[in-house]
Amino acid sequence: MRKFLVITIPIITLILFIFVMESDIFLKRSLGKNDSISESINAVINDIQMDDWDKAVQDTNHLSEVWKKIVRMVQFSSERDEINAFSINLARLRGSILAKDKAGAFTELYEAYEHWEDLGK
Amino acid sequence: MNEGLVVCVRSIISFFSLLIFTRILGKEQLSQLTFFDYILGITIGSIAATLSTDLSSRSWPHWIGLLVWAALGFLLEYITLKWRYIAKYLEDEPTIVIMNGKIMEKTLKKMRFRVSDITELLRNKDIFDLNEVDFAIIEPNGRLSVLKKPEFQNLTPKDMNIQKKQTGISSELIYDGILIEENLKQLGKDKTWLLNELKKQGISNISDVFIATLDPSGSLYIDLYHDHMTKITDIGDYKGPY
């Protein structure tokens, strides 16, 4: 009993803490269907390349939903600055799509992708 | 991002990690706090605080910092425990500042201690006259150990050739109204003996007793839930809110 209290509980606790702090390794991967950030970003890039602005709006909304879902899971293992930067990129992307500004939209998308890659690193 | 929730989770991680690491570091942190241990404690605490509330960076690097500092502290403790020579180098050694009643000025200067610091430390030990001191030693934790001159030392039963009864650690026989039979057995007594002892003091029920202890010399201490105190001394000066 003493061994369990003195050794096992602290070890299990530390392992659990390490898991929470490093959980982005598992949680950044797509867990279900259509919830991959990189795929969603690629979809918006394709839409803009094809000048399909209506589809780009739809895919940006989808990207926002996926982001909201994932951020809830990775927030414990990630830095706030990267999370905030990604959210700002999404807001600017909406503006660029509304103005049909291809260059601006691409800038935001690639920057968002970079922030996604750096999240939790 | 729910910042409150993240801070809450990171605080739990920080709190319990700190608890586990300080338990591994041992009791030396409290009892023999050297200047280095003091700084080590502050730094580890500061890293834990950053881990808890600095959301601009991930918790992982802060936690690793906490782990490395605790590990280095543990390593240093282990080294100083195993090798006396390195322990002297790392943790310093006791220094005599008063020898045969004479203040060692050069040693004081080397340690950057003023005489007023020594007299202050002596006063903390209830010594107001330097004439009383035979030896004074500054320990590595900064405390002063004092050996008084024989004529100023306290009189002990041995000096008076008085035989005193053997004392020891008391064992609890009743705690919070419940009989602890294990301790009773250890002392070679039984429940009947205890009930008789209680009866002698006018107590009929074990559940009336808050605590009862017995020391190896056979002295029984009993405290009841109801102490029947009619006049309770109030040490307060002004009437407060309670």
Amino acid letter at A71? V
Residue partners of B79: CB distance under 8 A and separation at least 6? B86, B87, B90
Sheet with B102-103, side-by-side order of all strands:
B102-103, B95-99, B133-138, B144-148
Q: Give the whole-angstrom CA distance, residue B134 versus residue B182.
A: 49
Predicted confidence (pLDDT) at residue B29 exceeds the cutoff of 60: no
What percent of chain B lies above the pLDDT cut of 70?
95
Predicted confidence (pLDDT) at residue A5 exceeds the cutoff of 90: no
- Long-range own/partner contacts, residues B33-41 (CB < 8 A, 24 or more apart): B33/B141, B34/B91, B34/B92, B34/B140, B34/B141, B34/B142, B35/B141, B35/B142, B36/B90, B36/B91, B37/B73, B40/B69, B40/B73
**Which pTM was predicted?**
0.68
Average pLDDT over residues B145-167: 88
- Long-range own/partner contacts, residues B182-188 (CB < 8 A, 24 or more apart): B187/B214, B187/B216
Comparing CB atoms, the residue among B2, B9, B56 nearest residue A81 is B56
Predicted confidence (pLDDT) at residue A11 exceeds the cutoff of 70: yes
Question: Exposed (0-12), middle (13-18) or buried (19+): which is B78, by Cβ within 10 Å?
Answer: exposed
pLDDT of residue B234: 73
Note the pLDDT tens digit of each residue in B51-66.
999 998 889 999 999 9
Predicted confidence (pLDDT) at residue B31 exceeds the cutoff of 60: no
pLDDT of residue B77: 84
Comparing CB atoms, the residue among B2, B10, B17 nearest residue A14 is B17
Contact state of A21 with B60 under an 8 Å Cβ cutoff:
yes
Average pLDDT over residues B142-169: 87
> Across all residues in chain A, what is the average pLDDT?
88
Give yes or no for a contact between A107 and A95, defined as CB atoms under 8 angstroms apart. Answer: no
Band of pLDDT at residue B67, cut at 50, 70 and 90: very high
Predicted confidence (pLDDT) at residue A61 exceeds the cutoff of 90: yes
Residues of B whose CB is below 8 A from A77: 58-60
Residues of B whose CB is below 8 A from A22: 60
Note the pLDDT tens digit of each residue in B114-136.
889 899 999 999 999 999 999 99
Predicted confidence (pLDDT) at residue B176 exceeds the cutoff of 60: yes
Give yes or no for a contact between B93 and B105, defined as CB atoms under 8 angstroms apart. Answer: no
Q: Which of A11-15, A88-92, B227-231 has the lowest mean pLDDT?
A: B227-231
Average pLDDT over residues A112-120: 88
Contact state of B6 with A21 under an 8 Å Cβ cutoff:
no
> Across all residues in chain B, what is the average pLDDT?
87
Average pLDDT over residues B29-50: 81
pLDDT of residue B199: 92
Average pLDDT over residues B177-188: 87
Query: Residue A119: closest CA among chain B residues belongs to which residue?
Result: B58
Predicted confidence (pLDDT) at residue B8 exceeds the cutoff of 90: yes
Structure tokens at A102: 């291809």
Predicted confidence (pLDDT) at residue B233 exceeds the cutoff of 90: no
Q: Which residues of B115-152 are buried (b: 16+ CB within 10 A; e: fewer)?
A: eebbeebbeeeebeeeebbbebbbebbeebebeeeeee
Report how far Cα A7 is from the mean position of its chain's Cα atoms: 37
Predicted confidence (pLDDT) at residue B30 exceeds the cutoff of 70: no
Structure tokens at B207: 């559940």
Chain A nearest C-alpha distance from B77 (Å): 20
* Residue A41: how many other CB atoms lie within 10 Å: 23
pLDDT of residue B47: 94
Contact state of A75 with B13 under an 8 Å Cβ cutoff:
no
Note the pLDDT tens digit of each residue in B91-113.
778 899 999 999 999 998 988 88
Beta pairing, strands B209-214 & B171-175? antiparallel
pLDDT of residue B28: 60
Is the confidence metric ipTM above 0.85 for this complex? no
Report how far Cα A106 is from the mean position of its chain's Cα atoms: 17
Candidates B60, B66, B74: best to mutate against A (most CBs of A within 10 A) is B60
